[in-house]
Amino acid sequence: MYAIVEIAGQQFKVEEGQEIFVHRLSNEEGSDVTFDQVLLVDKDGKVKVGTPVVKGANINAKVLEHVRGDKVKVFKKKRRKGYQKETGHRQDFSKLLVEKITF
């Protein structure tokens, strides 16, 4: 059984017991969170597609921890001008454990 759910503006394919990384949520570590923006549910080959969401479908998850991603380096240079600039960025993520899919 799996579902397609929209979390923080992105779509994820989730299954029960799966751990996923999503953009940082405001919930505290260890707290439970419910997502109701379920776009598709597949249970044993029976697919239910929402228009735009499946009514009555929920995803129950638990926030395991808040982490930061790997550093992405941004390097800019203009040749023959003596200009070069290097910056970096680390995205904040929340690690979720999908506990239950209901519909």
Share of the chain above pLDDT 70, in %: 100
Burial bucket for residue 57 (CB in 10 Å: 0-12, 13-18, 19+): buried
State whether residue 8 is helix, strand or coil: coil
Under the banding of pLDDT at 50, 70 and 90, the label for residue 103 is: confident
Q: What is the domain extent for residue 40?
A: 2-102
CA torsion 87→64→58→99, rounded to 10°?
Answer: 140
What is the total count of domains within the chain? 1
Rounded mean pLDDT of 3-16?
96
Confidence at residue 101, expressed as pLDDT on a 0 to 100 scale: 95
Please state the pTM of the whole predicted model: 0.83
Confidence at residue 89, expressed as pLDDT on a 0 to 100 scale: 97
Confidence at residue 11, expressed as pLDDT on a 0 to 100 scale: 97
Rounded mean pLDDT of 66-91?
97
